């Protein structure tokens, strides 16, 4: 059996295309069942996020299934195949294994090392398991992908450095104050970046959140989300002495906070340090504030510099992560290759052993005067003949199990000797043992 992936991502398709092909996360049963009905699909999985849509199938005919999956993706979403063909990629066999391991480990994400994709793949697998479109191979494949992702996060620092401006601000605040659980923050402006930063600060334990905005109702709404307090925009300077951290992004054409104002604030704070993050363009805070003792002012360029430095660190760690992925590919590929080869060899030996025993019973029934020594000699000769017959086909099956021709040889042996199909269960398939094929 082969694993095939057909899909598109932020690397191959703009958002206008990705959104046309997205599958609703709350309505996965229908597309999964339809995908499983395709002639060449034995098992099915659909991963659909804002950055990628991927169909993963187990098949005996990888060439046919690629065409079927491409057409299914177009027809299900009622777009022409020509409209999306150039955006689609496909992976088969070892390349498909490598791709999913890399995706689960966030090596293929828009933001290297981001944690969300692993959860999204787990959700996709949950649907495939719930609707019974994942069988033996996808079950093992996905669990292996999860363990690879866990190894990457445990054994590398690929996710340890902030690569968003909002989280970089939190990381820098931790460096200044060591801990945030006894600190307070003021958010000036209620836009997306400020909201995201507020979430990060709250997640890292800040004790108090103040929110101000030119539209007071918007400040009240955002403050309510974080059990904080809204303050009128015209009075926010009066409250600055209460907070240790200020993050601002208002869109104002001029500075909303100057050097002299901050001097007064620091006096009221008895010169306890303050951390100010100004991500507005034009800037909200006069850069001269940074000259004041115990005032630590960073603008958006400073934070972008931190982000870029952290991205370089993540890139260094990505090399270690890629090495882990390569190690794990070989193990899973060997398991997949053994999935039909080992049962075929065992079934072939059992078949010939049954024939050997039947013929010995007939022979011994006609030659009742044989001594024990003679019977053992005949039995040994029959076993030797069986082993010699088995040697060539089992050697060939083992040698070709990693080749594209391996499955053809398995099918040929099963047809020639009328062997039963291998059972589709979740039992462990261990590597072939020489004793099992040489007798």
Domain boundaries along the sequence of the chain = 2-159, 165-308, 333-438
- 50 classed as catalytic: yes
Q: Residue 170's closest CA among 79, 99, 247, 239?
A: 247
For the segment 151-158, the average pLDDT, to the nearest whole number, is 85
Q: CATH number of 2-159: 3.20.20.70, 3.30.450.20, 3.40.50.300, 3.30.460.30?
A: 3.30.460.30
> pLDDT for 28-66, tens place per residue?
999 999 999 999 999 999 999 878 999 999 998 999 999
> pLDDT for 350-365, tens place per residue?
888 888 899 999 998 8
Helix ranges (H only) for 178-270 are 192-203, 216-225, 236-239, 259-268
H or E stretch at 50: none
Task: Judge contact between 40 and 65, C-beta under 8 A.
Answer: yes
Mean pLDDT of the chain: 85
H or E stretch at 147: helix 136-155
**Long-range contacts at 24-31 (CB < 8 A, ≥ 24 apart):** 25/123, 28/124, 28/127, 28/131, 29/127, 29/131, 31/76
For the segment 275-282, the average pLDDT, to the nearest whole number, is 86
| Res 433: pLDDT | 39
Q: Residue 76's closest CA among 128, 131, 23?
A: 23
| Res 25: pLDDT | 78
| Res 57: pLDDT | 95
| Res 299: pLDDT | 85
> pLDDT for 213-248, tens place per residue?
999 999 999 899 888 999 999 999 999 999 999 999
Residue 303 confidence class, pLDDT cut points 50, 70, 90: confident
The catalytic position among 25, 37, 50, 350 is 50
Residue 207 confidence class, pLDDT cut points 50, 70, 90: confident
CA–CA separation, 52 vs 213, rounded Å? Answer: 36
| Res 156: pLDDT | 86
For the segment 288-302, the average pLDDT, to the nearest whole number, is 90
For the segment 400-422, the average pLDDT, to the nearest whole number, is 69
CA–CA separation, 235 vs 438, rounded Å? Answer: 87
Residue 422 confidence class, pLDDT cut points 50, 70, 90: low
SS3 track for 271-300: CCCEEEEECCCCCCECHHHHHCCCEEEEEH
Residue 250 confidence class, pLDDT cut points 50, 70, 90: confident
| Res 234: pLDDT | 93
pTM above 0.75, yes or no: no
Query: Which tops the pLDDT comparison, 229 or 190?
Result: 229
pLDDT higher than threshold 70 for residue 340: no
For the segment 285-295, the average pLDDT, to the nearest whole number, is 93
Q: Alpha carbon 222 to chain centroid distance?
A: 32
| Res 186: pLDDT | 94
For the segment 200-210, the average pLDDT, to the nearest whole number, is 88
| Res 44: pLDDT | 95
CATH class of the domain at 165-308: alpha beta
CA–CA separation, 307 vs 304, rounded Å? Answer: 5
> pLDDT for 379-409, tens place per residue?
999 999 988 988 888 888 777 765 555 566 7
Q: Would the CA dihedral through 98, 103, 108, 114 be positive or negative?
A: negative
By residue count, the chain amounts to 439
CA–CA separation, 123 vs 49, rounded Å? Answer: 11
Percent of the chain with pLDDT over 70: 91
| Res 318: pLDDT | 82
Residue 435 confidence class, pLDDT cut points 50, 70, 90: very low
> pLDDT for 71-105, tens place per residue?
999 999 999 999 999 999 999 988 999 999 999 98
Task: Judge contact between 176 and 273, C-beta under 8 A.
Answer: yes
Task: Judge contact between 244 and 281, C-beta under 8 A.
Answer: no
pLDDT higher than threshold 80 for residue 438: no
pLDDT higher than threshold 50 for residue 427: no
| Res 391: pLDDT | 86
């Amino acid at each position: 059996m082969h694993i095939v992936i057909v899909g598109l991502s932020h690397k191959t398709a703009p958002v206008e295309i990705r959104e046309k092909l997205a599958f609703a996360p709350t309505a996965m049963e229908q597309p999964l069942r339809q995908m499983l009905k395709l002639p060449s699909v034995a098992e099915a999985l659909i991963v659909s996020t804002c950055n990628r849509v991927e169909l993963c199938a187990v098949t005996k005919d990888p060439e046919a299934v690629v065409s079927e999956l491409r057409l299914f993706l177009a027809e299900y979403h009622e777009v022409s195949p020509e409209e999306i063909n150039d955006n689609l990629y496909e992976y088969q066999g070892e390349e498909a294994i490598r791709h999913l391991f890399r995706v689960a480990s966030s090596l293929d994400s828009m933001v290297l090392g981001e944690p969300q994709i692993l959860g999204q793949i787990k959700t996709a697998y949950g649907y495939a398991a719930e609707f019974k479109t994942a069988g033996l191979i996808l079950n093992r494949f996905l669990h292996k992908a999860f363990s690879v992702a866990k190894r990457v996060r445990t054994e590398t620092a690929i996710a340890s450095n902030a690569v968003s401006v909002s989280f970089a601000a939190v990381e820098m605040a931790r460096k200044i104050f060591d801990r945030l659980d006894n600190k307070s923050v003021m958010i000036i402006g209620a836009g997306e970046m400020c909201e995201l930063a507020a979430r990060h600060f709250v997640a890292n334990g800040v004790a108090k959140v103040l929110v101000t905005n030119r539209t007071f109702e918007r400040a009240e709404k955002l403050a309510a989300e974080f059990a904080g307090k809204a303050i009128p925009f015209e009075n926010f300077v009066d409250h600055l002495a209460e907070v240790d951290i200020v993050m601002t992004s208002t869109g104002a054409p001029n500075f909303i906070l100057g050097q002299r104002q901050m001097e007064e604030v620091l006096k009221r704070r008895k010169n306890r340090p303050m951390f100010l993050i100004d991500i507005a363009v034009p800037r909200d805070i006069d850069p001269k504030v940074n000259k004041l003792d115990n005032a630590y002012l960073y603008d958006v360029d400073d934070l972008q510099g931190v982000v870029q430095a952290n991205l370089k660190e993540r890139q260094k760690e990505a090399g270690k992560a890629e090495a882990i992925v390569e190690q794990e590919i070989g193990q899973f590929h060997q398991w997949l290759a053994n999935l039909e080869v080992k049962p075929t060899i065992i079934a072939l030996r059992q078949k010939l052993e049954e024939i050997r025993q039947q013929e010995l019973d007939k022979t011994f029934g006609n030659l009742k005067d044989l001594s024990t020594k003679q019977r053992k000699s005949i039995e040994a000769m029959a076993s030797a003949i069986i082993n010699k017959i088995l040697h060539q086909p089992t050697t060939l099956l083992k040698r070709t199990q990693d080749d594209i021709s391996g499955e053809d040889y398995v099918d040929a042996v099963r047809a020639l000797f009328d062997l039963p199909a291998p059972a589709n269960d979740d039992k462990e398939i261990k590597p072939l043992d020489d004793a099992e094929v040489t007798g």
